[in-house]
Amino acid sequence: MNLISFTNFNLFRGEKELIRDSNFIILEKEKIGLIGRNGSGKSTLLSLIYKIWQNQPIDNEIRFTGKVFVNSKIVFGFLPQEIKFDFQGKVKDYFQTVIKTNFNIENNWEYEKRRNKIFKKLNLSEEILNKDMSNISGGEATRIGLAGVFLSQANFWLLDEPTNNLDLEGIDLLIEEIGNFKGNILIVTHDRRVLDKLQKIIEIDEETKTIRSWGGNYSFYKIKKEEEYEARLRKYEAQKEKRKNLENTIKEIRKKAQIFENLSKNAFYRSKGSKLAKRALAIEARIQRELLELDEPSLSVKPKFFVGNISVKEGNLIDVKNLNFSINNKKILNNIDLKINFKDKVLIKGPNGSGKSTLIKLITKEIEPESGEIIINPNIKIGYLPQSPQIENPEIKVKEFLIKNYNLSEDNVKRILNEMKISETITFKLKELSLGEIRRIQLAAILFLAPNVLILDEPTNHLDVYTIEELTDALRYYLDQGGTIIFSSHDEYFINDIKPNKVINLL
């Protein structure tokens, strides 16, 4: 059964074209990953589908042409990337009234059992459940929203970056729920472990802006994309060789014709040379027609993070001694000791609420410990990426933001953006960019400055899968040049790629 279809579909946000002349359908029970570059329109597409289903007005800056069909039998469970609740009251009351009432859950015992399991694995503690909905954090809102989707009786889940605020146990639950769910799923995620549990990949193609479908999981998609690129490369090289051979043929014929015309006094040979020259012109014209008819593939240069030259500082770089920290009389960090040396790759690991971001903020001197000390080698530079983009002024343009926050020259700003293949964003306001685009720009600036120590708090949050792979390549190069990394992450693929040599387990 056809549940959702797009025909001759074009999507725009403001003046920016997101999707061009695309057709695709979603059939019953398909579990699909939607991938594409940050800012390519993934979140916009999910939101559009949901608003059409709800018969809600579309945002003024969003417009589309073509036909969109959403089957009336669908009941959506929707988790947007930035979730806001209208509900007034405590979190536990939200689940008690909204979920149970709206979705008419009859078997109370089964519901309670399933609810408690989900709460535990999403780290929705009694403390959080007793919070007023107006006081929850962004991460708590995501986990509450995801729990709501899991506990609903929806038959189609729309999930926009659900792993951004999940720990490893939460991602394990998401994967389990995806496997057990009997309905449809359309999910935007950068987590390759999640994408490998799906049956189909829909891609917003970076070059053509069209939507392409791939039957299989993310690993299958990667293999097929690589095969496609290699085929294009072979075709490109073959056409280059053909052009070279044909042009050499023209040169040889012209050369022979010139010899006859220049050296021979005999009218017969001059005539022969003239015929050869005409033949060369005819062959050249035919070659040009052949080459024009061929669709010569372009080999696009992939974006990359430019890593500056690191001033190598060997030995001990940071000492954390007997560190303690509490929040509201609750001990978060207890007697933490850590030595960070040259070229260390330190993973800070633990469930949500265990103090990963707190420890990072203490090391960066963003907050002060209640006891203990942090000794930082005075000769090192530290580059710090917080868990969420910290934007004081969303009206500021990208150029001014990078100059002001990272002390970059205008030329270096242009260089960074050009290397990332996003030079057009230099005049954009931050509010016109997605969270992933902002994070990508921040990472590019930090890596360009080449600090001795990189401190990254959930660096893959909000990034697309392509950028994560490009970031991984950049970090490998950074480490080879003598860099040191301290990071937290819930992305197992990313962790395995970085291969930490030290792990701090916080419980």
Q: pLDDT for 3-15, tens place per residue?
A: 999 999 999 988 8
Cβ count within 10 A of residue 51: 16
For 155-207, the pLDDT digits (tens) are: 999 999 999 889 999 999 999 999 999 999 999 999 999 999 999 999 999 88
Residues 122, 111: Cα–Cα separation, whole Å: 16
Helices (H) and strands (E) in the chain, counts: 16, 17
On whether the 2-207 domain is CATH 3.40.50.300, my answer is yes
Is residue 298 very low, low, confident or very high in pLDDT (cuts 50, 70, 90)?
Answer: low
**CA–CA dist 322, 373 (Å, integer):** 7
64: three-class secondary structure by DSSP: strand
- 161 φψ region: left (φ > 0), alpha (ψ -120 to 50), beta (else): left
Task: State residue 290's pLDDT score.
Answer: 67
Among the residue ranges 237-246, 301-310, 335-344, 405-414, the one predicted with the least confidence is 237-246
Per-residue pLDDT, 15:
81
Q: Extract the runs of DSSP E, i.e. beta strands, from 36-168.
A: 62-70, 76-79, 156-160
Question: What is the pLDDT, as a whole number, of residue 320?
Answer: 94
Give residues with Cβ within 8 angstroms of 61, minimum separation 6.
Answer: 13, 14
Q: What is the pLDDT of residue 319?
A: 95
Distance, in Å, from the CA atom of 413 to the CA atom of 302, rounded to the nearest integer, reads 18
pLDDT of residue 280: 67
The identity of residue 64, as a single letter, is: F
**Res. 449: pLDDT tops 70:** yes
Q: Quick check: do 2-207 and 343-362+379-505 share a fold? A: yes
Nearest to 211 by CA among 33, 51, 27, 63: 33
Q: What CATH class has 343-362+379-505?
A: alpha beta
Contacts of 381 (CB under 8 A, 6+ apart): 311, 449, 450, 451, 452, 453
| Paired tokens of 470 | 């490009």
The full set of domain ranges for the chain reads 2-207, 233-293, 343-362+379-505
